[in-house]
């Protein structure tokens, strides 16, 4: 059935108007007025008085309703009557004439359901996971309920399980919401404040309880066993099918059996998949804590060590990019920004380092090699030749020194821009010449210049190659 076959076409109109906040407050006030009544019906004058009191406590600004020829409500009673009239026209309430000729305001059932949802969203009520699980467990252990298994047991178990899984998914989503929040542009103070809000509302409440007192693992095995017992007990399952056909209005018995069996199996599957949901919640919780601390720590870094300097550089670059909306990372930047990054030698651990490779104390006899192992002398010579050729083409320090020595044979100094640049390999060789030229182990030194040059579509900062004396 379509929703608008139940609610009127203009049902959501008050919630999209400029007074939507006022309409929500009035609807919640009207709903709360019905709590002491026997039905969703109260004298109109009582509702008007409640709304008048609400508007008396609000700002005394007039309300202009554009949909009715600019009707203006200036005093509290006029505002209350206008609100009531529009809620009636939109299908939230209706009037009923009582036996004493007093007009009652009745709230439609679907409107009451909608307002109840508003209250839950606004109050942000926290789900008591263990209470739901204990209810499911107690329901399945209630032997008197098996007289009508579907009506008294299975239906309640299905509803409580769905509510439990929805609550876990909400917790999962709330953690994701906080993760997304810290990725936005926030100051360190805002991140720390958001962290404490998260710790109060989720970390120390929902998440902590679900890992300790509300851990459903205490009841899970018993719940799953009881559900399998219903499926395997022919008499109980037969009565449950009859109850399902009556309550859910299913006329075909075979269809009802399949539907009911699938519903019970889905509950079992939900409890079996509980660990997967908790694992994802654990992962997101850890990710949020780590991300919030790391981001706040990064933003608070204000030292002269490497981390603090990098933080200042990135903050400066971010300000430069944000200052001009037309600039992006692919545009040509100021040369002063390019000077921040440059090629420099790095130390790393290799076979020539001081680290001593441990020698295994295990001693075992080597296996005897057969005659069929090894390669022929001709193939060995070919492989040796290939390795020598590859060694010649490597950009090692020895090969680069040999190359530069040949260039400086008759000259003491040459420019990098005069080197051949026909391929990417030539450009890579220039990079290694610049890199090795900053180390005293080389036979030359590289002295950077301020001039940017372009040769055959290759652009780099020129430098001098000078032989060491």
Distance CA 415, CA 446 (A): 10
Cβ–Cβ under 8 Å, residues 63 and 82: yes
Higher pLDDT, 163 or 292: 163
**103-107, strands of its sheet edge to edge:** 41-43, 103-107, 93-97
**Confidence check: pLDDT of 354 > 80:** no
pLDDT at 371: 64
Higher pLDDT, 17 or 326: 17
**Whole-number percent of the chain with pLDDT over 70:** 69
pTM value surpassing 0.75:
no
pLDDT at 387: 82
Distance CA 400, CA 407 (A): 11
DSSP 261-315: HHHHHHHHHHHHTHHHHHHHHHHHHHHHHHHHHHHHHHHH---SSHHHHHHHHHH
**Confidence check: pLDDT of 435 > 70:** yes
Cβ–Cβ under 8 Å, residues 97 and 89: no
Higher pLDDT, 381 or 38: 381
Higher pLDDT, 349 or 154: 154
**Whole-number percent of the chain with pLDDT over 90:** 2
Burial track 20-54 (b if 16+ CB lie within 10 A, e otherwise): eebbebbbeebbebbeeeeebbbbbeebbebbbeb
pLDDT mean over 139-154: 88
pLDDT mean over 441-446: 85
* Residues 78-115 pLDDT 10s: 888 888 888 998 999 888 887 777 888 888 888 888 88
pLDDT mean over 48-65: 83
Kindly report the CA angle at 207 between 117 and 164, in degrees rounded to 5? 45
Q: Name residues whose C-beta falls within 8 Å of residue 156's C-beta, 6 or more positions apart in sequence.
A: 135, 136, 139
pLDDT category, 343, cuts 50, 70, 90? very low
Would you say how long the chain is, in residues?
469
Distance CA 221, CA 35 (A): 40
Q: CA of 13: how far to CAs of 33, 67, 355, in Å?
A: 23, 11, 76
DSSP 440: T
**Confidence check: pLDDT of 468 > 60:** yes
Distance CA 274, CA 164 (A): 10
* Residues 367-378 pLDDT 10s: 776 666 667 788
* Residues 367-415 pLDDT 10s: 776 666 667 788 888 888 888 777 777 778 888 888 888 888 878 888 8
* Residues 177-213 pLDDT 10s: 666 666 566 666 666 666 666 655 555 456 666 666 5
Query: 4-13, 39-48, 129-138: which has the highest mean pLDDT?
Result: 4-13
* Residues 209-224 pLDDT 10s: 666 655 667 778 888 8
Cβ–Cβ under 8 Å, residues 465 and 414: yes
Check whether domain 3-122 has CATH 3.20.20.70, yes or no: no
Least confident interval from 144-153, 296-305, 387-396: 296-305
Higher pLDDT, 252 or 355: 252
The full set of domain ranges for the chain reads 3-122, 128-290, 301-334, 384-467
pLDDT at 170: 72
pLDDT mean over 133-155: 87
Closest to 169 in 3D by CA, of 198, 132, 121, 127: 127
**Confidence check: pLDDT of 456 > 70:** yes
pLDDT at 204: 47
Radius of gyration of the chain (CA): 39
Higher pLDDT, 244 or 61: 244
- Give the rounded distance of the alpha carbon of 332 from its chain centre: 34
pLDDT at 120: 77
Neighbours of 404 (CB within 10 A): 21
pLDDT mean over 436-461: 84
* Residues 219-277 pLDDT 10s: 788 888 889 999 998 899 999 999 999 888 888 889 989 999 999 998 888 888 877 87
Cβ–Cβ under 8 Å, residues 52 and 76: yes
Half-sphere exposure of 391 (CA within 13 A, CB side): 7
| Beta strand pairing call for 444-455 and 458-467 | antiparallel
pLDDT at 382: 82
């Amino acid at each position: 059935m379509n929703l608008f076959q139940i609610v009127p076409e203009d049902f959501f109109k008050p919630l999209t108007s400029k007074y939507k906040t006022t309409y929500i407050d009035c609807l919640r006030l009207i709903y709360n007025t019905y709590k002491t009544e026997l039905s969703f019906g109260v004298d109109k004058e009582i509702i008007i008085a409640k709304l008048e009191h609400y508007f008396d406590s609000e700002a005394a600004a007039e309300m202009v309703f554009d949909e009715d020829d600019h009707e203006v409500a200036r005093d509290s009673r006029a505002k209350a009557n206008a609100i009531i009239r529009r809620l009636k026209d939109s299908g939230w309430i209706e009037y009923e004439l009582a036996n004493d000729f007093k007009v009652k305001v009745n709230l439609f059932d679907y409107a009451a359901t909608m307002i109840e949802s508003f209250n839950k969203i606004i109050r942000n009520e926290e789900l008591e996971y263990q209470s739901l699980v204990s209810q499911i467990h107690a329901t399945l252990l209630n032997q008197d309920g098996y007289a009508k298994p579907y009506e008294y047991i299975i239906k309640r178990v299905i509803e409580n399980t769905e509510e439990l899984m929805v609550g876990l998914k909400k917790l999962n989503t709330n953690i994701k919401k906080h993760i997304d929040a810290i990725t936005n542009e926030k100051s360190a103070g805002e991140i720390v404040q958001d962290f404490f809000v998260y710790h109060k509302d989720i970390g120390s409440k929902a998440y902590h309880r679900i890992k300790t007192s509300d851990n459903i693992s205490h009841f899970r095995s018993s719940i799953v066993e009881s559900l399998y017992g219903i499926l395997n007990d022919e008499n109980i399952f037969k009565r449950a099918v009859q109850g399902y056909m009556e309550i859910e209005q299913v006329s075909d018995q075979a269809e009802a059996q399949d539907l009911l069996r699938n519903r019970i199996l889905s509950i079992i599957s939900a409890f079996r998949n509980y660990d997967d949901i908790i694992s994802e919640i654990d992962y997101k919780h850890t990710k949020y804590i780590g991300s919030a601390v790391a981001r706040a720590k990064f933003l608070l870094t204000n030292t002269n060590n490497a981390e603090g300097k990098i933080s200042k550089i990135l903050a400066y670059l971010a300000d430069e990019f944000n200052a001009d909306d037309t600039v992006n990372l692919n545009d040509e930047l100021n040369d002063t920004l390019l000077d921040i990054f440059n090629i420099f030698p790095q130390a790393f651990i290799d076979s020539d380092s001081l680290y001593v490779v441990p020698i295994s104390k295990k001693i075992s006899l080597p296996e005897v090699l057969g005659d069929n192992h090894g390669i022929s002398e001709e193939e060995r010579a070919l492989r040796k030749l290939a390795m020598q050729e590859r060694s010649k083409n490597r950009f090692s320090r020895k090969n680069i020194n040999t190359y530069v020595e040949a260039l400086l044979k008759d000259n003491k100094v040459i420019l990098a821009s005069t080197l051949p640049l026909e391929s990417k390999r030539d450009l890579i060789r220039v990079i290694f010449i610049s890199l090795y030229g900053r180390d005293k182990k080389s036979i030359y030194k590289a002295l950077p210049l301020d001039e940017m040059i372009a040769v055959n579509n290759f652009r780099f900062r020129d430098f001098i190659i000078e032989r060491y004396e």
